[in-house]
Copies of this chain bind each other. A is one copy, B any other.
Amino acid sequence: MNIRSQNEEALLNRIRRAAQGTIESSRPRTFSLGVGDDAALFRPTTGHETILTCDWFLEGAHFLRQKHPADAVGWKCLARALSDVAAMGGTPRCFLLSLALPASHTGRWLNRFLGGLRRASRKFQCPLAGGDTTRNQKILINVTVIGEIPAGRAALRSGARPGDILYVSGRLGEAELGLRVLKESRRTMRGSDRRLRKHLYPEPHLVLGQWLTKNRAVTAMLDISDGLSSDLPRLCAASRVGARVHSARVPLLLISEADRRRGFDPLQLALQGGDDYELLFTVSRRSMTRIPKSFQGVRLTAIGEITRDPKVLLHREDGSEQLLVPSGWDPFRQV
């Protein structure tokens, strides 16, 4: 734990040890080689395609050193990258961790971070296969996840057709509410606070994504990472279609009158709120009967339909319609 005696070698060894359980506990034959060589070696499954995705998780942009528990940072950096695999219907196989941190954080902070990372790694059966560490004033994290899916089965963003029904899993806005509660707090919040659960410890819908693609029920799918108003236009653009969302059907949070007076509007949270990692998917009309009301306790709600007209519209209860303007998370907007 003595920072001055830490070198990169020692740090890599600690990460390796922390990850060991996760590598050995799951599919030991997947790897010929784990952390510690020039690169990791992975044996692909015959007849499958490999899914590749990487995600930034940066102090200041994606989490706050003073407010986010290190354990949650470890969990979430992996969980959100896994969500991209879920959105294709894939099964995670392993991940690479690129970590840059100040020497002051190579002790207790790193241990807690690795604890959260290991829990997510075990829960979602995605062992650490390798990575890169370096020193930096700010904490920088980049996670690459490698997944697999039987060839030809992946759900893409580009498959939605006019007339398809638009579904969303779970309910939207919960992670955004948690983020706002956290920002208003004066100190590091406890990870156990229920309002923060989804913001701090999101769970990628891996099993749901696999089920939806295995049954070839979906025509297009993505995960909501930046808010419905930002992510739905991406699906529409990739599919060269538009959509009409019925505001009354969007599954919202129940919010106390007190919270409402503090300015929290459930529909706004749902449209702008990022980090929900719910699945947004389209289903042809004749396949609708194959989509249950809920899957393993997660609600599946039809919230609108795909249109030939490329506009993305929000249909209000009073019958009015307005363009759904992207208002979710975008790091490059309004510089």
Residues of A within 8 A of B (CB): 3-4, 6-11, 32-33, 36-44, 46, 48-56, 58, 60-61, 84-85, 87-88, 90, 94, 96, 98, 100, 103, 106, 129-136, 140, 142, 144-147, 149, 151-152, 154, 156-158, 222-223, 234, 238, 330-335
Known: A331-B8, A332-B103. A40 touches B51 (CB 8 A): yes
Chain B residues, CB < 8 A from A142 = 54, 56, 98, 132, 142
Name 13 interchain pairs, CB-CB below 8 A, sorted by A. Answer: A7-B330, A8-B331, A37-B222, A38-B53, A41-B51, A41-B149, A54-B131, A54-B142, A55-B132, A58-B134, A98-B142, A103-B335, A144-B144
Known: A37-B156, A41-B154, A238-B37. A4 touches B49 (CB 8 A): no
Complex-state Cα separation, A49 to B4, whole angstroms:
39
Chain B residues, CB < 8 A from A88 = 37-39, 41
Nearest Cβ on chain B to A229's Cβ, whole angstroms: 13
**Closest B residue by C-beta to A142:** B142
Q: Which residue from B11, B136, B234, B333 sits with its C-beta under 8 Å from A58?
A: B136
Chain B residues, CB < 8 A from A37 = 88, 156-158, 222, 238
Whether A100 contacts B43 by the Cβ 8 Å rule is no
Complex-state Cα separation, A152 to B32, whole angstroms:
9
**Closest B residue by C-beta to A233:** B9
Chain B residues, CB < 8 A from A134 = 56, 58, 61, 331-332
Complex-state Cα separation, A242 to B106, whole angstroms:
30
Chain B residues, CB < 8 A from A335 = 3-4, 6, 103, 135
Chain B residues, CB < 8 A from A157 = 36-38
Q: Which residue from B8, B39, B144 sits with its C-beta under 8 Å from A51?
A: B39
Chain B residues, CB < 8 A from A43 = 49-50, 151
Q: Which residue from B106, B146, B223 sits with its C-beta under 8 Å from A38?
A: B223
Complex-state Cα separation, A149 to B33, whole angstroms:
13
Whether A36 contacts B238 by the Cβ 8 Å rule is yes
Whether A42 contacts B49 by the Cβ 8 Å rule is yes
- Report, nearest first, the 6 A-B pairs whose CB atoms are least far apart: A39-B53, A44-B44, A135-B331, A103-B335, A142-B142, A38-B87
Chain B residues, CB < 8 A from A36 = 157, 238
**Closest B residue by C-beta to A36:** B238
Whether A54 contacts B130 by the Cβ 8 Å rule is yes
Chain B residues, CB < 8 A from A58 = 100, 134, 136, 140
Complex-state Cα separation, A4 to B52, whole angstroms:
31
Complex-state Cα separation, A131 to B90, whole angstroms:
18
Nearest Cβ on chain B to A276's Cβ, whole angstroms: 15
Known: A36-B157, A58-B140. 20 other contacts (CB 8 A): A4-B334, A7-B330, A8-B332, A11-B332, A37-B88, A37-B158, A37-B222, A39-B147, A41-B51, A41-B154, A52-B146, A54-B96, A54-B144, A55-B132, A58-B136, A61-B100, A61-B135, A61-B136, A132-B142, A133-B332
